Structure 1
């Protein structure tokens, strides 16, 4: 598994009312190319945010109100009924893999080399493999995933045009932005190259129970071979 942080190519209104580019931190499974966890924050992602991803990787994600049944775990090829004896939370879970990573590849960003993140990995029995300095090819999969997100997803949402010199669609608040990205990652995402995030509508109440960014995501399709 590989983990990294990058600024998104969209402009959002931050909690203090100032516009800026949010930071997206993701964990990508190397075997399936699935984005197993993600967290969206204003600039200045902290070690606790990265540590949160580790917890979310291991936990089922509930199917949220308003999401189509196609995004449910029961709609996949996974033997869903047999898994209910292992974890009852899977009954209403969204389609995503619950993975216990053996190794997580990181760069030398202060968030990932911090004592907080290293201690969190150690407590879960996960080894940490730092990449070589100034060698992004050591984390080529997560870097390629960021490129896909910044093209397949960001170009369709408000705030992208602002950075490109267009003001046709004003930016959303950062909490509003969390919604359309989440189902896109589960249904289309970087794996399929057929993303249509414009079709996803944010729920009417961005600060409701589903308002926080759902960090765990997968794909309703079987993994690539």
Structure 2
């Protein structure tokens, strides 16, 4: 395992800049997931891995790539929120399963399944972003859905991390409800290996039904 590098589209995240993202985040109802994350955090204390604090846990749906956060005006943000609201009004809330936990090249993630509903959500969100800002705004690589548990801050043995996670985090799965997405202005600290954000808007699925 080697240190994680935050990404802007397919490049390195520009130092000192924020980037708009669309995230899915756990809610108060996801208590089993909260317990799973707590168990994982306890295991990872033995490794140079910076765990994501509970309030910053997220699944990335998409990143707006044509401009840094400071360059996207309030009016432009409002246009994104309006378009997302229109398109997500027809997307019904759904449930996913988080887990198992996986040690990989630059950190620890939790797999997500089934893929279908999240992939469909990504397609809908990406179409909304393109409708407002064009294709240059969606150059972030499409990835297999996952929930990041921690970012590697230094080199360590991925196999050893995986063994500890498999033996120490039981059960290794938990449900999560997806009933909204969040437009957020994200700060990445490359040295501290942390993600934080300022909340811009919550867009409910199914028009909040």
TM-score range (shorter-chain normalised) is under 0.3
Q: Normalising by structure 2, what TM-score?
A: 0.25
Greater share of strand: 2
Higher RCO (C-alpha under 8 Å, 6+ residues apart): 2
